[in-house]
Homo-oligomer: A and B are copies of this chain.
Amino acid sequence: MIFKNITILDENFDIQKNMYVGTREGKIAYVGKVAPQDDFGETFDGTNKALLPGFVNAHTHSPMTLLRGYAENLPLSRWLNEKVFPFEDRLNPDRAYFGTMLSIAEMLSGGTTSFSDMYFFQDGIMRAVKDSHAKINFSRSIVSFDNTDFLEDSRVLEALEAVEKYHNTENGRIKVDMCLHAEYTNTYSMIRQFGEYTKGKGLINHIHVSETKSEHEECKKKYGKTPTELFYDVGVLDSPTIFAHCVWIEECDREILKNTGATVAHCPASNLKLGSGVCDTYALLQKGVNVAIGTDSAASNNGLDSFREMYLAALLPKGIRGQADIVSPKEIIKMATVNGAKAQGRFDTGLIKEGFKADLTVIDTDKPNLYPDFDILNNIVYSAEKSDVVLTMVDGEVLYKNGEFTTIDIEKIGFEVNRIVKEVVSEV
């Protein structure tokens, strides 16, 4: 496909107007100010359109979209114990499949091309990814209050099975990471063994870290160190790592994150909604830590909307620190795209650059909410919304265009989701 006369964010996230971008065999094969010599087949007229790298949702739990709006305005423990856990107990791979399909549809319709997913029911989730042609870094989360051997824990075995069965399949669209759910949901023995096992395996670790104040403080009481220090000490950070949340981390933790090249998956909506607080992303960015953006699940958000998440990520540091001039739109859009791709170990993704994966999003700039067009970067971060997306492409394949999905029967998904939630609610 060749996008012509289109405004793009180039590899430095600078705005270039009237550009040509050609894709071939899943990659960006041409970026230039003049029409390419080669024939790229289908032409996309980019008049009043902007082409961006696809968004990467760096932390979510895709089947939980089934719980959207199910339980609101409850304290975290009641929300989990009375609502979320009993509901999740009724899930199965088939139900997870439809929840994930709904999540993928929502993400594609909002320009999100890849997501780091932490959950279980891997066969259901993987089927959804295969059917939809979406891109995923999946991890099966390990929760263990036992002191069993690592390789005898049923969740560990499932996680390793996921790696074995799915890692680097579908032309690399599917990657499998390793996941320790959190410090507070595992014994020290399990944490230590996780660190030892994952060292040198070349897999990414994905962990919930310092999401709530009590989690952070309890860990310090128990171990005399922060969760980040603990994970560092047992070698978890010897692998490339995504720490989700990091609301309550301290300067010593930021230092470790910087030195180990770890990523913080910032989930501003969920952190606010669950009353956890606000991650100090400004301090992280100042320190030079890689910060990506995640939606967390639709049960605590309640959407999977990269635009809404970018908007929050852009506004919160300004409001909380009382400084209007910190965290620029360019920093925000990098967080939502290339920083997330790096976190997923996808170093050829997240930029509009020749040789990079053709994971792309087109927005229609001819909308009342995007007038006037002083600076499309400002408008994308502060004014655009999910519905401005008119095309989403993953590995060069158009998966969403003008409200239609090419791989998803959204009517069927909607129907099945409603059926499933009715069944589950009647069971709990």
Q: Is the interface of A mostly helix, strand, loop or mixed?
A: helix
A103 CB, min distance to chain B CBs, angstroms: 9
Given A305-B385, A383-B302, A418-B373, residue A410 in contact with residue B68 (CB < 8 A): no
A147 sits at the interface (CB 8 A): no
Q: Enumerate chain B residues within 8 angstroms of A72, measured Cβ to Cβ.
A: 328-329, 375, 378, 382
Do A323 and B275 have beta carbons less than 8 Å apart?
yes
A418 CB, min distance to chain B CBs, angstroms: 6
CB-CB contacts below 8 Å: A397-419 with B: 410, 413-414, 417-418
Report which of B79, B105, B371, B374 forms a contact with A368, defined as CB distance below 8 A. B105
Given A213-B322, A387-B387, A414-B366, residue A273 in contact with residue B372 (CB < 8 A): no
Query: Which residues in A have some Cβ–Cβ distance to B below 8 Å?
Result: 65-66, 68-70, 72-76, 79, 102, 105-106, 109, 213, 269, 271-278, 298, 301-305, 308, 311-312, 314-316, 318-329, 366, 368-369, 371-375, 378-379, 382-383, 385-387, 410, 413-414, 417-418, 421, 425
Return 26 A-B CB contacts under 8 Å, by A number.
Answer: A66-B372, A68-B372, A68-B379, A69-B372, A69-B379, A69-B382, A72-B328, A109-B368, A213-B322, A272-B319, A272-B320, A273-B314, A274-B324, A275-B322, A275-B323, A302-B383, A305-B385, A308-B308, A308-B385, A371-B413, A371-B414, A371-B418, A372-B418, A372-B421, A385-B385, A386-B387
